[in-house]
Amino acid sequence: MKVLALLLALAVPSAALAQQGPPPAPDARYVVKKGDNLYDLGRRYFARPGDYETVRRLNRIPNPRRLQPGATVVVPYRVMRTVPITAELVAFSGAVRIEQAGRPVTPRVGLPIVEGMTLSTQANGFLTVELSDESRLTLPSNSSARVRQLREVPMTGGLLRVFDLDTGRSSTSATPGANPNSRFQIRTPLSVSAVRGTEFRVAALGGGQATTEVLKGLVGVSGSGAEVAVAETFGVRVTPDAVGAPTPLPPTPRLAHGGRAQEDAVVTFEIEPVAEAVAYRLQLANDAGFIDTFAETRTDKTVVTFEGVPDGAYFVRATAIDAQGLEGAASNYAFERDLNILEPGQAAAEKVGKLRQYLFRWTATGQGVRTYRFQLFGEAQATTALVDQPGLEAPQVVLTDLPPGAYYWRVIATRLNRGKITEKVGGLQDLVVGR
| Cβ atoms 120, 105 nearer than 8 A | no
225: nearest Cα among 211, 212, 239: 239
Give one DSSP letter per residue of 262-305, joined into a string: B-SSSEEEEEEP-TT-SEEEEEEESSTTSSSEEEEEEESSSEEE
pLDDT single digits (tens) 141-170 = 999 999 999 999 998 888 899 999 999 999
Residues for the chain: how many in total?
435
Specify the CATH number of the domain 254-337: 2.60.40.10
Gap between the Cα atoms of 251 and 109, Å rounded: 35
Domain boundaries, the chain: 2-23+82-248, 254-337, 341-433
CATH topology of domain 341-433: Immunoglobulin-like (2.60.40)
Average pLDDT over residues 181-186: 88
Specify the CATH number of the domain 2-23+82-248: 2.60.120.1440
Burial of 177 (C-beta count, 10 Å sphere; 0-12/13-18/19+): middle
- β-pair type (183-187, 303-306): unpaired
| Cβ atoms 277, 321 nearer than 8 A | yes
* Residue 111 confidence (pLDDT): 97
**Residues of the chain with pLDDT > 70: what percent?**
92
* Residue 350 confidence (pLDDT): 76
pLDDT single digits (tens) 220-244 = 998 877 889 999 999 999 999 889 9
Cα 60 versus chain centre, distance = 52
> Would you say the CATH fold of 341-433 matches that of 254-337?
yes
Gap between the Cα atoms of 183 and 104, Å rounded: 28
Query: Does pLDDT of 5 surpass 80?
Result: no
pLDDT single digits (tens) 33-86 = 999 999 999 999 998 888 999 999 999 999 999 999 999 999 998 899 999 999
pLDDT single digits (tens) 285-311 = 999 899 999 999 999 999 999 999 999
Strand arrangement, sheet containing 303-306:
254-256, 267-272, 303-306
Average pLDDT score over the chain: 89
Query: Does pLDDT of 18 surpass 50?
Result: no
Query: Does pLDDT of 198 surpass 90?
Result: no
* Residue 196 confidence (pLDDT): 63
pLDDT single digits (tens) 252-270 = 999 998 888 899 999 999 9
